Amino acid sequence: MTVTEPAPIAPTAPAAAAGWRLENTYASLPPVLHSAVAPTPVREPRLLLLNRPLAASLGLSPEALSGPDAAEVFAGNRLAPGSTPLAQAYAGHQYGHFTPLGDGRAHLLGEQITPRGERFDLQLKGSGPTPYSRRGDGRAALGPMLREYLIGEAMHALGIPSTRALAVTSTGEEVWRQEGALPGAVLTRVAASHLRVGTFEWAAAVASQTDDSALRALLDYTLRRHYPELERAENRALALLEAVIERQAALIVRWMSVGFVHGVMNTDNMALSGETIDYGPCAFIDSYDPATVFSSIDEHGRYAYGNQPRVAQWNLARFAETLMPLLHPEETRAVELATAAVQGFADRFLHHSLASMRRKLGLLDAADDDKALIEGLLTWMQRSKADFNNTFAALSAADTSALAALSDEEFCAWHALWQERLRRQGRLEESLAVRRAANPVLIPRNHLVEAALAAAVAGDLAPFQRLLDQLSRPYDHEHPPAAEYRSPAPKSLEVYRTFCGT
């Protein structure tokens, strides 16, 4: 594909008015890691959603970004001042198979520098073909872009590190997918960065025995962007590996603590910043079952809810392999260092998982029988097909005695053990506060998400906006949302499948 020159900067979006402070430090990395390419203009851009709180936190003016000129920028028809659009090259293990990839329908505009001096990537998604598009059209359908906006905001409200959407812009054009013609859209995504395990896989793949300069430059850049405290470490590659392992262990625990299933944990979807990235076939479990799978193409359950820690460790092993030349000049020693670090994931995950479950049960200190208490509840939940989040929300009520009376004998026995554990530790008010801070009364119920997306695609954004507003207060136990937002899917919708939207 021919690389195009960037589009002219829009004179109607001056930096002073909108607050743009864009740089693109990624463009300074070796050319093998990216391609300079401009977004492809669309026919009739229209701004559908602007994330005003996020815009303000980035130092941007929501008022200046609400007009028709902003739609031109968010659609890629014009560039905001300071934009240096490029597509990132990366690879990935997709369902276990190595594949060269890259931004096939995305353009990194640069990094917005906030009033606090922080840097956040701004990326257009669905903004046209790039040298990495293969046979793709470079476009995105409206439904998946709205899903990414909604779920990203829900995850942020839940306190889970996540990329977020700044805007969704309709294009006035159709995109063709398996289900037929769909309205097109462009998402403006905000991320700590778009560095992935797959970015290092690509750098390692193009490195040679005599030239690993791209890999070394990427190591330097990643440390500078996300782990500056490690830049002076004795073994910087090992320090980065261990830091990424720690963040991923904590992230996967946070996912599972609210029943989140990513759905496509390929290595190109594992961000080195520790943020959740790419909301394709994602969903939230209703009844607790570790084998739950939502993705229509995950036929063997590779990315099932309960498999996510194992997959994360597998992905981190692939990351460790890319760092091998930088870990130690002797291959045997490099393998030992990488193996020990990756094997440490299990202990890190267990540590975070136990701490998370203790918070969800209001356990303020550690006791020898905590693990058995936790496993007893999860075993009952699986056998009885109890709703995961609603069960923990019910355990966060001021008085849980009625819950035990309404449940079966197995739960009553567990409830008695739990109550005894709480009495033994005391500090009951503090325990309740901890439980309420750890257990949401609201998650994005899959059937409600689908209904809101269907209405929005049909032209009615009101249900989407209502759901988005409700999801902004997931821990408000004093003023819980209406039952329709908290109830599991009806029986007719229990079999739920998600699709990647590409």
Residue 296: which of 473, 452, 124, 498 has the closest Cα? Answer: 498
Residue 268 known to be catalytic: yes
3-state secondary structure of 397: coil
Q: From the candidates 103, 121, 268, 298, which is the catalytic residue?
A: 268
CA–CA separation, 254 and 231 (whole Å): 28
Residue type, 18: A
Residue 314: which of 349, 357, 279 has the closest Cα? Answer: 349
Classify strands 283-284 and 180-191 as parallel, antiparallel or unpaired: unpaired
Classify strands 34-36 and 86-88 as parallel, antiparallel or unpaired: antiparallel
Q: Check if the beta carbon of residue 163 is closer than 8 Å to that of residue 191.
A: yes
Q: At what angle do helices 370-384 and 409-425 cross, to 10 degrees?
A: 150
Q: Which residues contact 180 (CB under 8 A, 6 or more apart)?
A: none
Token pair of 424 as six digits: 């033994």
Q: How far is CA 439 from CA 216, 385, 432, in A?
A: 42, 18, 10
Q: Check if the beta carbon of residue 273 is closer than 8 Å to that of residue 191.
A: yes
CA–CA separation, 481 and 475 (whole Å): 10
Q: How many CB atoms lie within 10 A of CB 224?
A: 13
Catalytic residue list: 268
